[in-house]
Structure 1
């Protein structure tokens, strides 16, 4: 037995008409949502501050070989040290950690303290930290949302009481001069700079991109970041080579001292055993000669 099912055209027409009627009934709501979205979009477009980019490229160079030690390598060979086995490649400063270097707090704090002349502010000279703390770049929608989110913290700050630190804790806090202490202004500046200073590696090329509110400032900050990154890498490599040189010099001194001691023992033995032809004396002399060699 075969059942034949046929689609009723009238039912499809009714369902489409019902859907169209539902849309027409909700058209005011749809137009309202569309209008709100349009207004927000226009506010974001027209209130977002302009950002200017400055880019530069760094060509990575291969690590130096052991021949860079020069005459120190010869001394190391005399001391019995194999230069190729020195820990020159351990903890090497590779380009993979360059983004971590330029995004570190110490690095960004120094950048934020640099002063620049802002043409958009009638030539006013200001540090990047002060600029980003006061301006808080962003569109009006973002600023409004951030302000609403910060209201609970502002209100709680009105009623909060600062508890005095005990004398012992206060004294220990003063002694911690080596620790980096950041204010809220510095934290905001670091956050803004971290979003605007980006570094990417493409093969042997490292691409540094900086975004700033003015083109000249963007170019200056790009140059500044690049120079400080190069200084950081240079200081690291020079320090690493200096530690290797100090290690070799110490080993050479120890080897020289052992050589002199062996030489004195051999000379003393020969002086005290002149004219003796005993087998034990010969054996002892051979041992001392071996140590001397």
Structure 2
């Protein structure tokens, strides 16, 4: 036992000695560490100021649950805890968990291409498509790294025959349209809290006003999409009821006119046949009015049903023009590059340089050995 303890103590002493030795080496080379750290800080500043500013606008909204009774019951509560509450809350197929898929879908993204936006600094107006293609900036190294691919793409495009295409076809996008959809998908995101069903929509743009306007537009169009779906059946029922009401109205007016004309032509006649015809026309008019009245009531009920099925959204955090840029994190980039430069210099001093010197000495000794043997 004593021997094992002595061995452990010796190992600990060697570790302490090694750490002290490493620290001593670093202290001796402190000037080099400082120079490398300063170089890393300079590179970090160049990188931080080369990345364009990005402004993030976040909107939070709480959608209405389609079937509150199902969601408030015992099974509904358990399903909500499991993140399935909205899917189980009734017959609504577009529940909040699907909102991110709706926002990222091709038809939804391409519908944003023609949205009119305005820059905050100079008030220039563009569509979202024009702004993304012509006004969005990239770091200077992106142009250098992407130049070979751009040249290759230009050569391939010149070899291919370009077919004429009128308008935007969501079923078959061009390469440029697909790249624009991908770029917007990275900048327009939607997430859902599984417990509370709160939907968070974020829009990241290089202009703060455009970011806020586009975020507000995305929220509005998402609400319109869900409202359109939720009220689709009710609106069709309303259209059908209005059609029946209009037909009943026409028939009632015809019957009323026919009855009035008969009374004008046969005023004062006391024949039994005239009395029977008058009673028949009066009954037809009453029946037509009754039908017209019933269909009018059905129209009012259908309108109430449309209003009832229209979802209500509580905007928790509305869209506002951001004041501070969300990226780049200049201080974080500066600290990161400085730290990486320090670590790289330390690794060079402690490990790489001794390893290279050892290999160099080994090769030198191997070369000297044959020469010494020849002399002997």
TM-score (ref. length: structure 1): 0.56
1:159 CA drift (Å): 4.6
Q: Given the superposition, is the C-alpha separation of residues 112 and 33 from structure 1 closer, same or farther in structure 2, using an over 3 Å criterion?
A: farther
- Contact 1:128–1:189 (8 Å) recurs in 2: no
- Please say if residues 97 and 197 of structure 2, whose CA atoms lie closer than 8 Å, have aligned partners that are also in contact: no
Match of 1:223 in 2: 216
Residue deviations 1:184-236 (CA, integer Å, cap 9, x gap): 2x344333332332323231432223333333333322221111111111222
Range 229-238 or range 29-38, more displaced: 29-38
> Aligned partners of 1:8 and 1:207: how far apart in 2?
56
Distance 1:22 1:118, change over 3 A: same
CA contact (8 A) 1:132 1:188 kept: no
Q: Which residue of 2 aligns with 1:197?
A: 188
**Higher relative contact order structure (alpha carbons within 8 Å, sequence separation ≥ 6):** 2
Cα distance in 2 for residues equivalent to 1:163 and 1:91: 46
Gap regions ≥5 residues in structure 2: 69-88, 240-376
In structure 1, distance between residues paired with 2:10 and 2:130: 72
Q: Mean alpha-carbon deviation: is it higher for 23-32 or for 2-11? A: 2-11
Deviation at 1:19, TM superposition (A): 2.6
TM-score (normalised: structure 2): 0.45
Say whether residues 1:40 and 2:47 are aligned partners: no
Distance 1:244-1:51 versus aligned 2 partners, 3 A rule: same
Instruction: Flag structure 1 segments of 5+ consecutive residues without an equivalent.
Output: 66-87, 247-293
Tell me, yes or no, if structure 1 residue 182 matches structure 2 residue 182.
no
Where do 1:94-105 residues align within 5 Å? 94-105=95-106
Q: Is the 8 A contact 1:55 1:210 kept in 2?
A: yes
Pair 217,156 (structure 1): closer, same or farther in 2 beyond 3 Å = closer
> Which structure 2 residues correspond to residues 117-156 of structure 1 after superposition, within 5 A?
117-120=118-121, 122-138=122-138, 140=139, 143-144=140-141, 146-156=142-152
Measured against aligned partners, the alpha-carbon deviations of 1:261-289 in whole angstroms (never above 9, x if no partner) come to xxxxxxxxxxxxxxxxxxxxxxxxxxxxx
CA contact under 8 A between 1:50 and 1:213: conserved in structure 2? Answer: yes
Between the aligned partners of 1:46 and 1:28, the Cα distance in structure 2 is 27
CA 53–2 in structure 1, closer or farther in 2 if over 3 Å, else same: closer
In the other structure, the counterpart of 2:93 is 92
What secondary structure, in the 3-state scheme, does the structure 1 residue paired with 2:202 have?
A: strand
Q: Distance in 1 between matches of 2:131 and 2:56?
A: 18
